[in-house]
Amino acid sequence: MSAAERRAQVLDVAMLEFARTGLFGTPVDVIAKAAGVTQPYVFRLFGSKTKLFTECVRISFAQSTTRMLDAAEGLSGVNALIAMGNQYRSNLENNPDVLIQVQAFAACANDEVREAVREAYGNQWQQLAKRAGVDAVQMKIYMALGLLLNDLTMIDAKNPAGEDEQWVQDAYTVIDADVFAALGSLDDTGK
């Protein structure tokens, strides 16, 4: 394999491992072994575990943003937000690499991670808001609901047998588009 192919292979493995156990719970030797390389080689490719992690964070945000933008193609307003939200929910269920974002928020005590997350999150916010063409309040609500989905996913709230407790059913309730649109008219700035 070329160095570029090895790098991509290490990133693929690191995405899965970091999604599972985060920056602080994932030893580099676990990533190296799963990728079929040595630990020193991983450091030679990325410089540090934190740099490898932040690269995974940037990739994860970019991929999830692209998926959401694609889902909202040709839509605007609340309809775009709903399409992006459905895609994001599907991302959480079907693409464990998105869980790196949750792990990244947890690792923000590290300055380098915090800056990478701040940049990636801000970029995601701006791209999604531009595509949907919604106001700041609607965007804030949309992003807050996404973080709720992250929380529910991390605690594995859904019962695999389908016998969810009432609070889980309530938490996963889909918000009516008209209600969501009306929420945008609530201006909480300066009050």
Mind listing the domains of the chain with CATH numbers?
3-183 (1.10.357.10)
Question: pLDDT per residue over 70-125, tens digit each?
Answer: 999 999 998 899 899 889 888 887 776 678 998 999 999 999 999 999 999 999 99
Greater pLDDT, 140 or 90: 140
Share of the chain above pLDDT 70, in %: 90
Choose between 10 and 176: higher pLDDT: 10
Nearest Cα neighbor of 147 from 112, 188, 95, 98 is: 98
Per-residue pLDDT, averaged over 1-19, amounts to 94
Phi and psi at 149, nearest 5°, equal -60, -40
